[in-house]
Amino acid sequence: MTESDLSALRERAANGDPTAVDILIELAGERGDMAELRRLAEGGSADAADQLTEVATELGDLDELRRLADSGNIAAAEQLAELTED
């Protein structure tokens, strides 16, 4: 997918197209693009937040998991607890 295609998807998502949001989440998850997932999650997508938690867990990104947990994400809090168990 080209940058132009991604830009078009982002525009569609910004205009409320749920299919475009789903595609962006899938692509970002495949690429491990936490910035894209964070942007979508902050825009209100629970699916993006779930995918962000998954990617952060896979990468062992404790800072991102803490940030998500601090914002009330229970799945991130659980993953953080699991990864930091002694």
- Is the pLDDT at 4 greater than 80? The verdict is yes
The pLDDT, as a whole number, for residue 86 is: 64
How high is the mean pLDDT of the chain?
A: 95
Q: What is the CB-side half-sphere exposure of residue 53 using CA atoms within 13 A?
A: 24
- Quick: pLDDT tens for 13-41: 999 999 999 999 999 999 999 999 999 99
Contact 47, 19 (CB under 8 A): no
Sign of the Cα pseudo-torsion (48, 54, 57, 59, in order): negative
Sign of the Cα pseudo-torsion (69, 50, 61, 81, in order): positive
